[in-house]
Amino acid sequence: MGFRLGPKAESAGIRLVSFPEVGSTNAVAMERLQAGDRGPLWVVSSRQTSGKGRRGNSWATPEGNLAASLLLSVPTEPVTTATLGFVAGLALTDALSVLFGQATAGVPAETDAGAHSFRLKWPNDVLYGGAKVAGILLESRVGEGGAAVVIGIGVNVATAPDGLSYPVAALADIDASVTADRLFEALAEAWTERYEMWASNPGFARMRETWLRRASGIGSEIAVSRGDDVVRGVFETVDEDGQLVLRTDDGRQERIAAGEVHFGSAATVRS
Instruction: Kindly report the average pLDDT of the chain as a whole number.
Output: 88
Residue 161: CB partners within 8 Å, gap ≥ 6? 60, 168
Could you give the percent of the chain with pLDDT greater than 90? 72
Tens-digit pLDDT profile for residues 140-186: 987 666 789 999 999 999 999 888 888 999 999 999 999 999 999 99
pLDDT at 190: 98
The answer on pLDDT for 64 being more than 70 is yes
Q: Are strands 15-19 and 41-45 parallel, antiparallel or unpaired?
A: parallel
Burial label for 34, CB within 10 Å (0-12, 13-18, 19+), is exposed
Give the residue, 130 or 104, on which the prediction is more confident: 130
User: For every residue of 31-95, which 3-state class applies, written as one string?
Assistant: HHHHCCCCCCEEEEECCECCCECHHHCECCECCCCEEEEEEEEECCCHHHHCCHHHHHHHHHHHH
Which of 23-27, 46-50, 153-157 is predicted with the least confidence, judged by mean pLDDT? 46-50
pLDDT at 111: 47
The answer on pLDDT for 267 being more than 70 is no
Confidence label for 270 from pLDDT (cuts 50, 70 and 90):
very low
Mean pLDDT of the region 22-41: 94
pLDDT at 183: 98
The answer on pLDDT for 109 being more than 50 is no
Mean pLDDT of the region 18-28: 95
Domains and CATH numbers, the chain: 7-213 (3.30.930.10), 221-268 (2.30.30.100)
CB atoms within 10 A of CB 250: 6
Given a contact cutoff of 8 angstroms between Cβ atoms, the answer to whether 148 and 72 are in contact is: yes
pLDDT at 138: 94
Reported pTM = 0.89
Give the residue, 221 or 147, on which the prediction is more confident: 221
